[in-house]
Amino acid sequence: MDKKYEEVQLFCNNSKWEKVKECFNEDGFRILLEFSDLLNDYAAQINAISKTIKILKKWEKKDFFKLNETKYEIDWFGCYQKKGREEVTLPQAKKMYKEVRLKYDALYEVLLNAGEIHYKNKNALIDKYIE
């Protein structure tokens, strides 16, 4: 079977509450730390890419600009998963933005859903913890 369409396993299947409790008690803190690190790193990456896109969009109006040739460096300072600088064109930067934004939005959705389910307010955890 094509790996692209491979099925995946469930994490702490909700029908097995003992497994959920065990996970929370033994590894909840570790999972929360990693979740937080990933969410913050994706936010930093999005901000870095966004700055680059804004500059390239300004340049787009200039005579020297060529869509698939003119490059600008993304400065990954403050990003854990990315390091240094990386030159990209506007289409490359837009593609990168979409890819990282999907990851960020997936994690952000966890906070929205948890707020809605446990506080009856979708933004409860967002308002409390997102700066």
Cβ atoms 100, 45 nearer than 8 A = yes
Asked if pLDDT for residue 9 goes beyond 90, the answer is no
| Three-class DSSP category at 23 | helix
Quote the pLDDT of residue 19: 87
Give yes or no for residue 109 having a pLDDT over 70. Answer: yes
Please give the Cα distance from 32 to 27 (Å, whole number).
9
CA atoms within 13 A on the CB side of 60: 12
Structure tokens at 80: 């854990």
For the chain, percent of residues with pLDDT exceeding 90: 78
Distance of CA 64 to the CA centre of its chain: 33
The structural domains of the chain, with segments of one domain joined by +, span 16-129
